[in-house]
Structure 1
Amino acid sequence: MCAAGTITAAHAQDTIPDAARIQGIVNYLASDKLKGRGTAEKGGKTASRYVAKQFKKLGLKPVNGNSYFQDFTFDRKEHKNIPSRNVLGFLDNGAARTIIIGAHYDHLGTAALFDGKYPIGEIHNGADDNASGVAGLLELARYYVKNQGKEPFNFLFIAFGGEELGLQGSKYYTAHPLMPLDKVHFMLNMDMIGRYNPERGIGIGGYGSAEEWPAVFKDVQQPGIKFFTDAAGKGASDHHNFYVNGVPVMFFHTGGHDDYHKPTDDAPKLQAKSEASIVQLEIQLINRAMTFPVLHYVGEKN
Structure 2
Amino acid sequence: MNNKALFSFYIIVLHFLLCTPLSPVFAQIKQENLKKHIYYLADDNMKGRGTGSKQVKKAAKYIETYFKEYGLKPQGEKGYRQPFEAKVRRVVVEDSIRQADNVIGYLDNDAPYTIVVGAHYDHLGDGRQGGSRDSLGVGEIHNGADDNASGVAGLLELARHYSSNDIKEPFNLLFIAFGAEELGLVGSRYFTENPTVPLENIHWMLNMDMIGRYNPDNGLAVIGYGTSSKFPTIFKNITSEIKFNLSRDGNGGSDQTSFYKKDIPVLFFHTGGHDDYHKPGDDPEKIDYKALESILRLEIDVIDNSMKQDKMDFQWTN
Partner residue in 2 for 1:6: none
Partner residue in 1 for 2:246: 229
Partner residue in 2 for 1:21: 33
Please report the TM-score for the alignment, with normalisation by the length of structure 1.
0.91
Q: 1: CA distance between counterparts of 2:149 and 2:208?
A: 10
Q: 2: CA distance between counterparts of 1:236 and 1:65?
A: 26
Q: Deviations over 1:42-75 (max 9, x none)?
A: 1111111110111111111101355111110023
Q: 2: CA distance between counterparts of 1:34 and 1:148?
A: 35
Q: How does 1:131-170 map to 2 (within 5 A)?
A: 131-147=149-165, 150-170=168-188
Q: 2: CA distance between counterparts of 1:15 and 1:288?
A: 17
List runs of 5+ in structure 2 lacking aligned partners. Answer: 1-25
Aligned length: 288
Q: 1: CA distance between counterparts of 2:317 and 2:283?
A: 37
- Decide which of 116, 120, 138 is 1:120's aligned counterpart: 138
SS at match of 1:26: helix
Partner residue in 1 for 2:124: 108
Q: How does 1:1-302 map to 2 (within 5 A)?
A: 16-64=28-76, 67-77=79-89, 80-114=96-130, 118=135, 119-147=137-165, 150-222=168-240, 224-301=241-318
1:146 Cα deviation after fit: 1.4
Q: Deviations over 1:266-298 (max 9, x none)?
A: 001111111011000000000001101211100
Please report the TM-score for the alignment, with normalisation by the length of structure 2.
0.87
SS at match of 1:70: strand
For the aligned residue pairs, the C-alpha RMSD in angstroms reads 1.7
The question of whether the paired residues in 2 share the 8 Å contact of 1:208 and 1:232 is answered with yes
Question: Which of the pair has more CA radius of gyration?
Answer: 2
1:126 Cα deviation after fit: 0.4
Q: 1: CA distance between counterparts of 2:105 and 2:27?
A: 22
Bigger mean CA deviation after superposition, 169-178 or 114-123:
114-123
Partner residue in 1 for 2:17: none
1:40 Cα deviation after fit: 1.1
1:100 Cα deviation after fit: 0.3
1:16 Cα deviation after fit: 1.8
1:299 Cα deviation after fit: 1.6
Question: Structure 1 residues 63 and 216 mapped into 2: Cα distance closer, same or farther (>3 Å)?
Answer: same
Q: 1: CA distance between counterparts of 2:121 and 2:65?
A: 14
Q: 2: CA distance between counterparts of 1:66 and 1:173?
A: 13
Question: Structure 1 residues 22 and 116 mapped into 2: Cα distance closer, same or farther (>3 Å)?
Answer: closer
Which residue type is aligned with residue 284 of structure 2? A
SS at match of 1:50: helix
Which residue type is aligned with residue 208 of structure 1? G
Q: 1: CA distance between counterparts of 2:257 and 2:132?
A: 26
Q: 2: CA distance between counterparts of 1:65 and 1:87?
A: 10
1:153 Cα deviation after fit: 0.4
The question of whether the paired residues in 1 share the 8 Å contact of 2:70 and 2:164 is answered with no
- Give the 4+ runs in structure 1 shifted more than 4 A: 115-118
Question: Structure 1 residues 164 and 66 mapped into 2: Cα distance closer, same or farther (>3 Å)?
Answer: closer
Which residue type is aligned with residue 71 of structure 2? G
